[in-house]
Chain A
């Protein structure tokens, strides 16, 4: 829809012509994910994860709707109905393991998708809205996953609900009434379980709605690409179908192999044994941890161990608990302003030597460490390590990115995607007009977007 050379949908039969007049749904699909959507020809495998995330959303909705047919959200029977699914429902074990591991795989592909965005600066103009909607989807996913984990009503479910709603008690004045309101009681019980079930059922459809906005916003400027150079000419693109449908089909096969290997051979490897113990309000498990995909944020939460006091007076300005909660939410909210923190005119990390060093030797090890530390016992030296890595996390986004985007000297950019793929000689006649970033290597400004229409 965005490029002049995009192929037009042409209904062939009388029926499709009639349908195109009355409800041009095939046209919409054709333009969105069909031959009518021109996509940069140089996308690498990191660009598979958007489609894969959509696939896992569908897997979760289908398996979830099916599981809801057998589940009952009542503290007395919830755990038993899950066991009923595992033992007596036809293929119930398969459906439940697919749903539980599907959540993990949804997060795996989403993290790949997000970190693709970090490296290739997919958040930059003109794609800020796509990025903002993406962060909203991620937040909705976290809420959905948390509430879903409560539903089996095992020990981790129960204490997870207790601890996560307990985060809100950090808010001054209204915190404790807020937790009671969230739970509908003084501890997690039927009221909490029922509302979590209701919302866990609802939110995936909200996510699906935001996903549609996300894709809509994507189709305004079109997809980004590994060079970060905008599409300039027809030879820079290929139609989404069949080129990327075929590539995504292959990518889907690969991820499904990994997914089924987990579902059929290691279905509980990403879970926690304590959740096979029925919820017991009188006994807390030895190690309370969320699901693995929350570990980095959980590590940030636990990193703040000391109250912010005025030294030598004992006056507490902000208690440690509130600091941790602010930092945890802030660690994701900071993604919202990312497009305006990183003002480098170059998008792709391939052409940003300094940025690339901080990405591979700063952000990636930090995330890996926080993933590990979030699941570790709250004892030294893990606490100190999570404090160090938490500090780097915030420094990276809030301090390092703004500064390096000022001082960095980027590497020369290719003139166009075609040139990047085929080399200078093979590049067909390109309309070298009206673009501030001419072929001159080294000017390194790619802020100009080719007109979309």
Chain B
């Protein structure tokens, strides 16, 4: 009885404190207080929809489009890698994109990675080996910040997993550059700050990365026209692969495991019903 009485008193006390000191002041403020100031950027942000037609790897049966991944790699190499590292991806991983051992060796050697002079022990550079990761163009974070107006270009290995709906996000971001509607901007007093760039698909529409892509910037070996949307889609696909190289293998294993489990569970159900069969006559 004392426990119940104590409980009732404690319960009422908690409710009272919550309602009188937290809920009512909050509700009063919500109803009569000043409306929260709307960020000017919130007038311009648009939620992107990803590329038209989606990606080849979308859905539970999706597969990599290897040609697209190769194009995406080319975009990364010729454009993104000027500022962005990819430290969890090694050149040897490119074998999964349909390159042979020799091609991977040759490709790795076209990159310059940090090394140590075997004679003097001083830091130097050397051609990449298949076991090396995609290098950072900057020796350290301070250098990266100094070279980029204080914004450190993030590592791209996991970019599509580090953002919500990452593959579409990368595509949207790369295609979201432009100018704000001048009439609207004048009305709400919006101006893109110095050193930043307007991007309608970035959360606060002011992004530190200058527009990286322009039409015809790279020449694709397979003759695909290198428009900005095309390159954006290809590089978004490539970064999806770098974030999770096991994606397709994972789903294939998943179908196999699911099929097996459905079969096993059906058997378990029949076995269970058999065991219980004699026990439960229907209610008369």
Residues of A near any B CB (own CB < 8 A): 41, 80, 83, 86-87, 93-94, 97, 238, 242-243, 246-247, 249-250, 252-254, 256-257, 260-261, 263-265, 267-268, 273-274, 276-278, 286, 303-309, 320, 323, 327, 330, 334, 337, 340-341, 343, 379-381, 383-384, 387-388, 390-391, 394-395, 397-399, 402-403, 421-423, 425-426
Q: Is B162 an interface residue (CB 8 A)?
A: yes
Are B21 and A309 in contact (CB-based, < 8 A)? yes
C-alpha gap A337/B251 in the complex (Å): 46
Q: Please indicate the chain A residues that have their CB under 8 angstroms from the CB of B15 in the complex.
A: 391, 394-395, 399
C-alpha gap A286/B162 in the complex (Å): 13
Q: Is B10 an interface residue (CB 8 A)?
A: yes
Tell me the nearest residue of chain B to A406, going by C-beta. Answer: B4
Given A246-B268, A264-B258, are A390 and B12 also a contact pair (CB < 8 Å)? no
Q: Is B178 an interface residue (CB 8 A)?
A: no
A343 contacts which of B4, B164, B166, B283 (Cβ < 8 Å)? B4
Tell me the nearest residue of chain B to A340, going by C-beta. Answer: B3
Are A247 and B272 in contact (CB-based, < 8 A)? yes
- The 6 closest A-B CB pairs, nearest first, are A264-B254, A398-B11, A253-B265, A276-B162, A306-B21, A402-B4
Are A398 and B21 in contact (CB-based, < 8 A)? no
Q: How many residues of B contact A (CB 8 A)?
A: 60
Listed by A's residue number, 8 A-B pairs whose Cβ atoms lie within 8 Å are A83-B158, A87-B93, A246-B272, A252-B268, A253-B269, A388-B23, A390-B18, A399-B8
Contact with A along B155-186 (1 / 0, CB 8 A): 10110011110100000000000000000000
C-alpha gap A320/B26 in the complex (Å): 13
B21 contacts which of A256, A308, A330 (Cβ < 8 Å)? A308
A305 contacts which of B3, B7, B26, B60 (Cβ < 8 Å)? B26
Q: Is B279 an interface residue (CB 8 A)?
A: yes
Are B284 and A243 in contact (CB-based, < 8 A)? no
Are B269 and A250 in contact (CB-based, < 8 A)? yes
Q: Is B32 an interface residue (CB 8 A)?
A: no
Q: Scan residues 233-284 of chain B and give those whose CB is less than 8 A from a CB of chain A.
A: 243-246, 250-251, 253-255, 257-258, 261-262, 264-265, 268-269, 271-272, 275-276, 279-281, 283-284
C-alpha gap A249/B271 in the complex (Å): 9
Q: Please indicate the chain A residues that have their CB under 8 angstroms from the CB of B147 in the complex.
A: none
| Chain B facing A: main interface SS | helix
Are A273 and B27 in contact (CB-based, < 8 A)? no
C-alpha gap A85/B89 in the complex (Å): 13
Given A246-B271, A304-B18, are A264 and B11 also a contact pair (CB < 8 Å)? no
Are A260 and B276 in contact (CB-based, < 8 A)? no
C-alpha gap A446/B257 in the complex (Å): 47
C-alpha gap A242/B279 in the complex (Å): 12
C-alpha gap A320/B261 in the complex (Å): 50
Are B265 and A402 in contact (CB-based, < 8 A)? no
C-alpha gap A93/B163 in the complex (Å): 19
Are B18 and A391 in contact (CB-based, < 8 A)? yes
A238 contacts which of B11, B157, B246, B279 (Cβ < 8 Å)? B279
A257 contacts which of B8, B154, B262 (Cβ < 8 Å)? B262
Are A340 and B23 in contact (CB-based, < 8 A)? no
Tell me the nearest residue of chain A to B260, going by C-beta. Answer: A260
B17 contacts which of A41, A308, A379 (Cβ < 8 Å)? A308
C-alpha gap A320/B20 in the complex (Å): 12
Q: Please indicate the chain A residues that have their CB under 8 angstroms from the CB of B26 in the complex.
A: 305-306, 380, 383-384, 387
Q: Please indicate the chain A residues that have their CB under 8 angstroms from the CB of B268 in the complex.
A: 246, 249-250, 252-253
Q: How far is the CB of B19 from chain A (nearest CB, A)?
A: 6
Q: Please indicate the chain A residues that have their CB under 8 angstroms from the CB of B158 in the complex.
A: 83, 276-277
Given A305-B22, A327-B14, are A256 and B250 also a contact pair (CB < 8 Å)? no
C-alpha gap A308/B251 in the complex (Å): 53
Are B254 and A265 in contact (CB-based, < 8 A)? yes
Are B22 and A304 in contact (CB-based, < 8 A)? yes
| Chain A facing B: main interface SS | helix
Q: Please indicate the chain A residues that have their CB under 8 angstroms from the CB of B254 in the complex.
A: 260-261, 263-265
C-alpha gap A94/B251 in the complex (Å): 11
Q: Scan residues 1-39 of chain B and give those whose CB is less than 8 A from a CB of chain A.
A: 3-4, 7-8, 10-12, 14-15, 17-19, 21-23, 25-27, 30, 36
Are B162 and A421 in contact (CB-based, < 8 A)? no
Are A399 and B7 in contact (CB-based, < 8 A)? yes
B251 contacts which of A238, A264, A303, A341 (Cβ < 8 Å)? A264
C-alpha gap A163/B37 in the complex (Å): 27
Q: Is B88 an interface residue (CB 8 A)?
A: yes
Q: How far is the CB of B261 from chain A (nearest CB, A)?
A: 5
Q: How far is the CB of B36 from chain A (nearest CB, A)?
A: 8
Are A87 and B276 in contact (CB-based, < 8 A)? no
Given A384-B26, A402-B7, A422-B281, are A265 and B161 also a contact pair (CB < 8 Å)? no
Q: Please indicate the chain A residues that have their CB under 8 angstroms from the CB of B17 in the complex.
A: 304, 308, 323
Q: Please indicate the chain B residues that have their CB under 8 angstroms from the CB of A423 in the complex.
A: 283-284
Q: Please indicate the chain B residues that have their CB under 8 angstroms from the CB of A93 in the complex.
A: 244, 246, 250
Given A387-B23, A394-B11, A395-B11, are A260 and B3 also a contact pair (CB < 8 Å)? no
Are B88 and A273 in contact (CB-based, < 8 A)? no
B166 contacts which of A267, A273, A340 (Cβ < 8 Å)? A273
Are A397 and B11 in contact (CB-based, < 8 A)? yes
Q: How far is the CB of B263 from chain A (nearest CB, A)?
A: 10
Q: How far is the CB of B167 from chain A (nearest CB, A)?
A: 12
Are A253 and B258 in contact (CB-based, < 8 A)? no
Interface centre among B18, B164, B243, B261 (most CB of A within 10 A): B18
Tell me the nearest residue of chain A to B24, going by C-beta. Answer: A306
Tell me the nearest residue of chain A to B283, going by C-beta. Answer: A423
Tell me the nearest residue of chain A to B161, going by C-beta. Answer: A276
C-alpha gap A250/B273 in the complex (Å): 10
Are B3 and A87 in contact (CB-based, < 8 A)? no
Given A277-B162, A390-B18, A399-B8, are A426 and B284 also a contact pair (CB < 8 Å)? yes
Are B60 and A265 in contact (CB-based, < 8 A)? yes
